[in-house]
Structure 1
């Protein structure tokens, strides 16, 4: 009784036209309905805010309803909203705007990251995906289109844009532009912006669609970074576990030395920035970035002043080179971080001030002492290296009440689901 039809500019098949012609309710954007024939007395709804209520009303009376949308309704489309509302539609899809955009560009898109700029934090995370990945399709919304993308990406992230408007429609326009140009041109309700690093836009043949799978391992050996200028491997492993870098995140590596944490975060799919005041350290970051084939921005300057010019971070690592110089940098990072801060300290006397700085900004904090000793392969006592020096790690997480953490000795019972819920239209 409910059908969702996707339009992509090609003629609708006979089945779709017959369903529209017999429906009591036809809903969709006015431009998608203008050439369709509806039955006498059919209700036509063109305001998106009214669609769900109109569908509920029609189906409640036992009437046929049709919703017409752009492209593939199951791909960032109406099917999700209707299913969440309790409906099980019959779907006749068209080509998605993303598929059409890449077709106009003449590029494969099985390795593309596809993100939506709409709703809540979507635009900021979409921009971070564009910073970190060489081939991203951004589904735009008003106020989050090519001009806004260009302002956030230029000049730190060299990219090319392909802006697609009214794909398959009478006003179709496909424009190639640089981010700086995109900020000044007039746009007519673009549907998709392809954000490309032209040097890597083709990519290799993948075995899975979307962003490449994460690395086979993380917390790389210290020798993987130039001159050993890295946060120690055991420190990095612990820090990454608390930072949780992922697609759409922005991670700062402040006092980066060689950018090892920034590189690791980039390997895990996040956008990252390495911050250091030392010119030689910034050059080491660039060498390490090239060696590992990732994208990391480098910002040379004195923290905390340099932090004002950086994109808002989800997570921040503060290296011992700056963390031990007082709480000013730790506090500045805590003010800006949305999710977590990890601080590396040589001197245990600095643990309490660091914890208090994080707690003052609303973080739940903890601290540990790390020390590692190599046990295998065995070496003669005369050549055996001493255990690494103890390092204190302070970390804070925003929005995690202390009393919500699992307590020692508590257990959570497994819950058995006696009966699986039925899937509408599915087989038993």
Structure 2
């Protein structure tokens, strides 16, 4: 396969390209890119123009294989918007072809240009992409005082951003829509999220947000979100127990959690909120709760939470191997604990909670067999008793936590 040169290009087109980029395009035998990108360099090369494949990742190798006969040297240039290595095709090509076959000539990203216009430091900005990704992820980083840049999917994204911010109590936030950055049609429109009414403009835009709110957010960064943030039918691991449970599960970047007996989805949701690369699969048998879990996940900024309908341990078959497992329901199901321990990678964590004596006796036997730690969590809240105040205890929770050894006991 021929090597590929990836050339980043901005809205200013040929005028904004440096000499190495111009030389690569001018000498190309084939130029690959979207219609908008290839139109920007039209007249500056004699290459054959080829559109990007759909679907992109699956179609790249077959496309590049077809561009020349075996033994021929074909100079292929792939055009990318701005910085090819930031949400761009440069990374995809390096993964598909191998980095040694890809040369990247970058250009300023739309993020850099937006920060230059607003006087923001790029290192202090949170970035959310709505291109091929759910916009609900914005809720994960939208906190009072934060600055956010949203890579728009189309001309309707700015209104969707303003609506989401308002629904999350951030209607006071300042919003800028920066369109066609670096080009002759560059435009900036500004307003307030709660009263946003700008007419949709160019689909090539980025949305900048200065998050403002007149009250404190209930959605903090650490596990143990306020119970009021969850839609629930009562099957919810309560705030203080949830915080202790997530501490025992110890989420780390890139790790996968199985949340068995999802209820309202709180454990899987807060596992994923711990880091953008954390993944979770929630197993829940009831369809009404599955819908509720998905609504909670969207609202709290982790729409990527995967929900599997079914009863464990049968519903666990075929799922990718987890780094941690939480069992919050169905603990007494035949063979559940041995099944999840067997599925866990060595060094993985299993945490199980219960409030019933039946399940507590099971946890005691598992503790004796596999080790780990057995903890009782008791929480009381102050409540009125006539004209006085007293403690109102919640049901105590027994928690078993264990790290899977290399070899499980027989």
TM-score normalised over the length of structure 1: 0.52
Q: Deviations over 1:275-331 (max 9, x none)?
A: xxxxxxxxxxxxxxxxxxxxxxxxxxxxxxxxx9999323999xxxxxxxxxxxxxx
| Offset at residue 69 of structure 1 (A) | 1.5
Deviation at 1:143, TM superposition (A): 7.6
Matched, 1:79 2:90: yes
User: Closer, same or farther in 2 for the Cα pair 1:160/1:3, shift >3 Å?
Assistant: same
SS where residue 142 of structure 2 aligns?
helix
Quick one: which of 111, 121, 131 aligns to 2:124? 111
The answer to whether residue 316 in structure 2 is matched with residue 355 in structure 1 is no
Q: In structure 2, what is the Cα distance between the partners aligned to 1:185 and 1:311?
A: 31
Choose from 216, 233, 244 the match for 1:237. 244
Confirm whether residue 367 of structure 1 aligns to residue 324 of structure 2. Answer: no
Aligned to 1:195: 209
Rounded to whole Å, the distance in 1 between the matches of 2:376 and 2:137 is 36
Deviation readout 1:144-188 (Å, 9 max, x if unpaired) = 711212222214223221111111122211111222444652222
Provide the C-alpha distance between the structure 2 equivalents of 1:29 and 1:73, rounded to a whole number of angstroms. Answer: 14
Alpha carbons of structure 1 residues 25 and 315: separation in structure 2 relative to 1, 3 Å:
closer
Q: 1:236: how far off?
A: 2.9
Structure 1 unaligned regions, length at least 5: 201-213, 220-230, 248-253, 255-260, 271-307, 318-336, 341-353, 374-387, 396-404, 412-428
For residues 98-247 of structure 1, the aligned pairs below 5 Å read 98-120=111-133, 122-131=134-143, 134-142=146-154, 145-155=157-167, 156-158=169-171, 159-182=173-196, 185-197=199-211, 236-241=243-248
Looking at structure 1, the residues matched to 130 and 136 of structure 2 have their Cα atoms a distance apart, in angstroms, of 8
Aligned length: 280
Contact 2:145-2:212 at 8 Å conserved across structures: no
- Equivalent-residue separation in structure 2 for 1:132 and 1:177 (angstroms): 17
Distance 1:315 1:154, change over 3 A: closer
Check conservation: 1:25, 1:55, Cα contact below 8 A. Answer: no
CA 1:139–1:357 in structure 2 vs 1: closer, same or farther (change >3 Å)?
A: farther
Which residue pairs with 1:90 in the alignment?
Answer: 103
CA offset digits 1:72-100 (Å, max 9, x no partner): 11111111111122143111111000010
For each residue in 1:370-400, what CA deviation from the matched residue of structure 2 results, as whole angstroms up to 9, or x when unmatched? 3379xxxxxxxxxxxxxx99821689xxxxx
* Contact 1:151–1:183 (Cα < 8 Å) also in 2: no
CA contact (8 A) 2:29 2:75 kept: yes
Give the Cα separation in 1 of the matches to 2:196 and 2:292: 21
Question: Using the alignment, how far apart are the partners of 2:105 and 2:180 within structure 1?
Answer: 20
Shift of 1:45: 2.1
Give the match for residue 31 of structure 2.
26
- Quick check: 1:313 aligned with 2:309? no
Q: How does 1:44-55 map onto structure 2 within 5 Å?
A: 44-47=49-52, 49=54, 52=60, 53-55=62-64
